[in-house]
Amino acid sequence: MNKVWIISDHPETAYELAGKAKTLGTSLTAYVLGDNDVAQRVISFGADVVKLMQLPQTTVWEQYLSVLLQEAGTENPELILVASTCRGKDLAAQLAAKLDCPCVTDSKKLEEKDGKLVLQRIIYGGLAYQDIECNTFPVIVTIAPHTFEKGEPEEKQGEIFNLSLIGEGPIQVVERKAKEAASVNLAEADIVVGVGRGLTQQSGLAMFEELAKLLGGEVGCTRPIAEDLKWLPEERYLGITGKQIKPNLYLCAGVSGQIQHVYGIRESKVIVSINNNENAPIFKVSDYYIVGDLEEVIPALISALK
Amino acid sequence: MKVLVCYKWVLDEADIFVNEQDLSLNFDKAKGKINEYDRNAIELGASLKETVGCELYAATVGKGVKASVNDVLSRGPEKVFYMDSPGLDSLDSSVTARLLAAMIKKIGGIDLVICGEGSSDFYSRQVGPRIAALLGYASLSYAVDVQVNGSEIIVTRKLDDGTEVVKVSSPAVISVLPEINKPRIPSLKQILAAKKKPSTSLALEEIGLTEADLATSLTFGDVAAAIMERKRIRIDEGCQDISEAVAKLIKQLRADRVLN
């Protein structure tokens, strides 16, 4: 491939994408939210040109759409990789519509084979995957953070520009609030104890917390526990729209095993589940399971570990 | 204000089964349903109808979507527009957005389009922003709160690094996150009333498109179940009581070196 672009409002993902993009194209331009240091880093990971797109004070970042369209008109990129963040996905979809080209969301694969681009998506909430081929360009592909490993930085020269908006567009930003720093990083935890709707009383969370502490792990949960009941903060829910984890051990109780949740835990090394319904779907994706009441099994686990 | 909600009629993923021999998927038992994420979009439309008194329409495209008409009408919209054809199976987001945008143009005068975040089958999360770009409307995605005052729309967006409150004058396309609301379950009265509400079937030519507009340059390969190789061992089998099962489990996890 000749020209490849990456677009990212998240520096770390820009580094990951630059490393990958370098193997696919002969020239690489990166459109990144960040400062000069970020730009130098993107260059060290493979970009030839970096165009910085600062977060505008008064309008949304996606407003860069019109600048990018103008750039695409003269540069003719064949492949555009976009960091699959919220802003990234919105911008990618709008850019694809304007360029009248396909866009593949959250591809897990990115390979060139016989002049075609081979991509892969997870579909049906994690139940299946599907290969997708593309042989007409341009094509836009969004890639989630951590999909590809960051390469080794190299000594490299590149050009850095600041990109300006063309007009402010109709959307005015009234207020921005940064998210409170996460108190926990479930993605890094070796052991995660999961809790689902099988827990009927909020007070029962204490035993999950005690178990997690005993195991040196963290508590995670299903979406309803965080979103509907608000018993635990959002940063702790696991699933396709929540956190995706890769612990050595995922031990859960009261989790039915809906595929949206399973998507978030599928890369766990060992999965253990406890559920009082012997037909619970979670058992099908578990290495070990106990059919039993979590109110009995969790305290028994705690006393056995003590 | 005229508001239109887009929705997708999807197969219920909970009823899709894996054929273990060849890892193919069995859809025989899977029935259609209104995509869960779109129920939040419909609910937002229904609540705006109550609070600001807008006109509320719904629109969908796909194969077999006629079956969805009564369901969607029972959830609040006064009227539904749909395009149902066998050729509209498993549409790529680019095509879905093209068809819906053309329908919206044909209907005319739509000030606000509401979409769900994505669909539970392919979850590409593109249709809302694509429709916005095709129609030249503002795209307000990842919405967790929406306030409408006359033609002014204020949306709180939940993004990766925090929230962003934005203001825009209509027209706009809002794509909502599931946490924005809790969709109501239609009452029997609403279900019965839905049967009397109008629905309009639109054909490709009527919205100014041709067969060529259904093409995508992507080639979709076979779908294979993402099977997880798991042991599926029932620990409490043959155990006298819970404490024995628990001891057995801990021993096993230590043997597997996932527990100290």
Mean pLDDT score across all residues of chain A = 94
> Within 10 A of B247 (CB to CB), how many other CB atoms are there?
15
| Residue B238 DSSP one-character state | T
For residues A155 and A146, the answer to whether their CB atoms sit within 8 Å is no
Torsion over CA: B42, B47, B50, B51 (sign): negative
Q: What is the DSSP string of A76-132?
A: --SEEEEE-SHHHHHHHHHHHHHHT--EE-S-SEEEEETTEEEEEEEEGGGTEEEEE
Cβ-contact B61, B103 below 8 angstroms = yes
Provide mean pLDDT across the span A25-37.
95
CA distance A256 to chain B (A): 12
Q: Categorize the per-residue pLDDT at B149 as very low, low, confident or very high, splitting at 50, 70 and 90.
A: very high
Subunit contact A297:B242, Cβ cutoff 8 A = yes
Please give the residue that has the higher pLDDT: either A185 or B104: B104
The C-alpha torsion from A91 through A128 and A223 to A220, rounded to 10°, is -110
Cβ contact, residue pair B162, A102, below 8 Å: no
Distance CA B68, CA B83 (A): 11
Residue A291 annotated as part of some ligand binding site? no
Nearest CA in chain A to B220: A132
Out of A94, A104, A106, whose CB is closest to B133?
A94
Is A257 assigned to a binding site?
Answer: yes
Whether the Cβ atoms of residue A28 and residue A21 lie closer than 8 Å to each other = yes
Q: How far apart are the CA of B75 and the nearest CA of chain A, in angstroms? A: 21
- State the alpha helices, DSSP H only, in chain A: 11-22, 36-44, 65-75, 86-99, 205-215, 223, 259-265, 294-305
pLDDT in tens, B221-256: 989 888 778 999 999 999 999 999 999 999 999 999
**What single-letter amino acid sits at A122?**
I
Question: Once rounded to an integer, what is the mean pLDDT over residues A250-265?
Answer: 93
pLDDT score recorded for residue A167: 85
Among A134, A135, A179, the residue with its CB nearest the CB of B162 is A179
Report CB contact under 8 Å: A169, B125: no
Structure tokens at B207: 């919205």
pLDDT score, position B118: 96
Burial B150-161, CB ≥16 within 10 A → b, else e: eeebbbbbbbee
Determine the 3-state secondary structure of A196 from DSSP. Answer: coil
Please report, as a single letter, which amino acid is at residue A245. I
Query: Would you say A254 is a known binding-site residue?
Result: yes
Tokens encoding A101 = 């080209």
CB-based contact A60 B246, cutoff 8 Å: no
pTM (predicted TM-score)? 0.89
Tokens of B46: 């229904």
pLDDT of amino acid B227: 74
CA distance A302 to A281: 25
Find the residue in A nearest to B218 (Cα): A134
User: If you search the block for the tokens 């984890």, which residue do you land on?
Assistant: A245
Is the CB of A172 less than 8 angstroms away from the CB of B167? yes
What pLDDT score does A188 carry?
83
Nearest chain B Cα distance for residue A36, angstroms: 21
Selected residue with higher pLDDT from A182 and A4: A4
Contact assessment for residue A214 and residue A302, using Cβ atoms and an 8 Å cutoff: yes
When scoring A103, A142, A192, A282 by the number of chain B Cβ atoms within 10 A, the one with the most, hence best to mutate, is A103
Whether the pLDDT of residue A182 is over 90: the answer is no
The string of pLDDT tens digits covering residues B43-97 is 999 999 999 999 999 999 999 999 999 999 999 999 999 999 999 998 999 999 9
The pLDDT value recorded for residue B13 is: 87
Tell whether A244 is in a known binding site: no
ipTM over 0.90: yes
What is the per-residue pLDDT for A239?
A: 92
* Rounded CA separation B227/A128 (Å): 8
Give the list of residues 6+ apart from residue A180 with CB closer than 8 angstroms, or none.
none
pLDDT at B66: 97
Say what the pLDDT of residue A105 is. Answer: 97
Q: Identify whether the C-beta of residue A103 lies closer than 8 Å to the C-beta of residue B126.
A: yes
Instruction: Determine if residue B85 is left, alpha or beta; phi over 0 gives left, psi from -120 to 50 gives alpha, anything else beta.
Output: beta
**What is the pLDDT at residue B83?**
98
Chain B residue with CA closest to A215: the answer is B259
A132-148 pLDDT, tens digit each: 999 999 999 999 998 89
Q: Is residue B255 helix, strand or coil? A: helix
Whether residues B226 and A266 touch (CB distance < 8 A) is answered with yes
pLDDT of the residue at A146: 85
Q: Measured between alpha carbons, how far is A42 from A83 in angstroms, rounded to an integer?
A: 14
Rounded distance between C-alpha atoms, residue A253 and residue A205, angstroms? 11
How many percent of chain B have pLDDT more than 70? 100
Residue of A nearest to B30 (CA): A124
Q: Give the per-residue pLDDT at B63.
A: 96
- The predicted-structure confidence for A201-230, as pLDDT tens digits, reads as follows 999 999 999 999 999 999 999 999 998 899
Contacts of A215 in chain B (CB under 8 A): 259
pLDDT higher than threshold 90 for residue A126: no
In degrees rounded to 5, what are phi and psi of residue A196?
Answer: -125, -170
DSSP labels, B142-183? EEEEEEEETTEEEEEEEETTEEEEEEEESPEEEEE-GGG--P
Cβ–Cβ below 8 Å for A131 and B225 = no
**Cis, peptide link before residue B171, omega less than 30° from 0:** yes
Query: Quick one: which of A230, A224, A290 has its CA closest to A260?
Result: A224
**pLDDT level of residue A50 (50, 70, 90 thresholds):** very high
Cβ A102–B216 below 8 Å, yes or no?
A: yes
- Strand-pair category, B162-169 with A288-291: unpaired
Which residue in A170, A178, A215 is closest to B169 by CB distance? A170
- Token readout for A59 is 């309008």
Residues in chain A, total:
306
Integer-rounded Cα radius of gyration of chain B: 22
What structural domains does chain A harbor? 3-162 (3.40.50.620), 191-305 (3.40.50.1220)
Q: Which residues of A92-124 are buried (b: 16+ CB within 10 A; e: fewer)?
A: bbbbbbbbebbbbbbbebbeeeeeebbbbbbbb
Partner-chain residue, chosen from A132, A171, A179, that has the shortest CB–CB distance to B219: A132
Give the nearest chain B residue to A179 (CA atoms).
B162
* Coil vs helix vs strand at A164: coil
> Given CA atoms B145, B146, B147, B152 in this order, what sign does their dihedral have?
positive
H or E element, residue B223: strand B218-225
pLDDT tens per residue, range A60-119: 999 999 999 999 999 999 999 999 999 999 999 999 999 999 999 999 999 999 989 999
* Torsion on CA atoms B87, B90, B93, B95, rounded to nearest 10: -10
CB A45 within 8 A of CB A153: yes
CA–CA dist B260, B257 (Å, integer): 7
Residue B25: closest CA among chain A residues belongs to which residue?
Answer: A128
**Consecutive H or E run containing A30:** strand A27-32
- Report the residue from A86, A98, A292 with minimal CB separation from B133: A98
CA nearest neighbour of A20 among A105, A101, A79, A104: A79
CB–CB contact A178 B18 (8 Å): no
Specify the amino acid at residue B237: E
Interface size between A and B, measured as CB pairs under 8 A? 239
Q: Do B123 and A240 touch (CB under 8 A)?
A: yes
Task: Please tell me whether A275 is known to bind a ligand.
Answer: yes
- Percent of chain B at pLDDT above 90? 90
